[in-house]
A and B are shown apart, each in its own frame.
Chain A
Amino acid sequence: MGIKKFTYKLGELNVDPDAICNLMGYGEDCPPEIKQIVLDELDGLRDAIGIEAGFLFRNVEMFEDNFLIKIGEHNYEVGKAVFKLLRNSSSVAVFICTAGEQISHRSKELMAKGELLEGYVVDLIGNEVVERAMDKLHIEVNGIAKDLGCKVTNRYSPGYCDWHVKEQHQLFSYFPNDFCGVSLNKSALMTPVKSLSGFIGIGEDVKYFDYTCHLCQSANCLYSNRKPAKANVNASS
């Protein structure tokens, strides 16, 4: 199987306005005028272009001693936490996903005009869009895995836990240049900014967790006040 690629419209991604309010720190108490900004901006971005994602499968060898995952010649030192979460994978879906440039552009444009709150809301919409696009991709991967008699893990990205962000250079080497419009600079920063890369583990005996926040040490995470992820890939396919 080669590379699979998808293009999404914002409307099909189940972006929940309340989730955006949640990212701002609000619960049920989100002021109506702020919620309205979220709704208006989501509506304005309805036809946003550039929301793209893709993946390919690669066989892996896993070495518990040094928490190493090998894909051909490439070594991925994913660290203990990520290694354990990917345990028993026989292959991985390597993915790249982006909310595209248009959303970031809109955010910057609003900020520059002094529409700070609106610009910030759009920035958060970008975060949510890339995550929801990833949910779609995850479901695709799960479907293929199932046909092979396998299950999938959650998704994990270089830069999280002890997995170094610079290993994205190897990861990107499996894809054509500018795949999905995403480029990687020398510092392993992706452009557009609202982009994600990483692995989804695949195997007969791998584990999917509904909630992974307890595995992370981050003291200041935006997502720590979040309810468990809605996108349970096993339930929704």
Chain B
Amino acid sequence: MMEELLAKLSDCIEFGKINKVSPYPPNMKDMDGADEITKQLLDGGMSADDILQKGLVIGMEKVGVKFRENKVFVPQVLMSAKAMDAAMAHLKPIFAESSSSRKGTFIIGTVEGDLHDIGKNLVAMMVEGNGYEVIDLGVDVKAEKFIEAADAHPGAVLALSALLTTTMENMKQITKAIKEHNSAIQICIGGAPITQEFCDQIGADSYNPDPQGVVEFLNAKSA
């Protein structure tokens, strides 16, 4: 019974079914959504951890892979993120009380001089949906702010986004400053003009062209 509910919850995330009244997707009309099912699972005694890892994350991972393969587009990812939010609204208070496990902390921001945020937001949503705590520093983020956040969350992975060739230069400077401060801090980078070559050149730890890539990098680290 619980297994079945978990599978349903995973489907709700994969297809973006938020709650019962939500009309989307049409073929799940009038069915319970992520909101109701999460509550049912909690009422049934399942731990918040299990709900996250064995239900929500499974669904989000499928979305990430389909997005990478161009089988779904940004709107579906956003509907999934919204369904995820509905489920997390029940789980977050529990996580806040217990020391229990999110898989790790991920701190993301668009670098100084750059205001682009749609891509960065997509990465943040996907990573959160895959069971990590995400801290979004917003746009136009200076090196000091990244460093401050990293110091406040030891072990957290930093992620930098940039959309212009000029702000790539800022990304380089920020990476340098972070590494000089503490070379153990792991840095992921991404954004339209970024390449693996650039990543190697500036000494960042991981480049990925899409959100799923960074999720896989994080999973490999936390495994």
Contacts and interface: CB of A to CB of B under 8 A. Distances in A.
B115 interface: yes
B167 interface: yes
Interface in A156-195: 159, 164-166, 185-189, 191, 193
Nearest to B165: A165
Contacts of A114: 82, 85
B75 A24 contact: yes
Interface in A217-236: 220
A166 B113 CA distance: 13
Interface residues of chain B: helix, strand, loop or mixed (majority): helix
Interface in B59-92: 70, 73-75, 78-79, 81-82, 85
A79 B215 CA distance: 37
A59 B114 CA distance: 32
A220 B74 CA distance: 14
A65 interface: no
A187 B167 contact: yes
Interface residues of B, number: 29
Interface residues of A, number: 24
Interface string B192-217: 10000000000000000100000000
A117 interface: yes
Contact of A120 (B78, B114, B167, B192): B78
A62 B65 CA distance: 48
Contact of B114 (A34, A111, A116, A189): A189
A25 interface: yes
A191 B75 contact: no
A191 to B, nearest CB: 7
Nearest to B192: A220
Given A111-B121, A220-B192, A189 B79 contact: no
Given A24-B74, A159-B164, A188-B164, A120 B113 contact: no
A33 B78 CA distance: 14
Contacts of A128: none
Contacts of B81: 116
Contacts of B85: 114
Interface in A182-210: 185-189, 191, 193
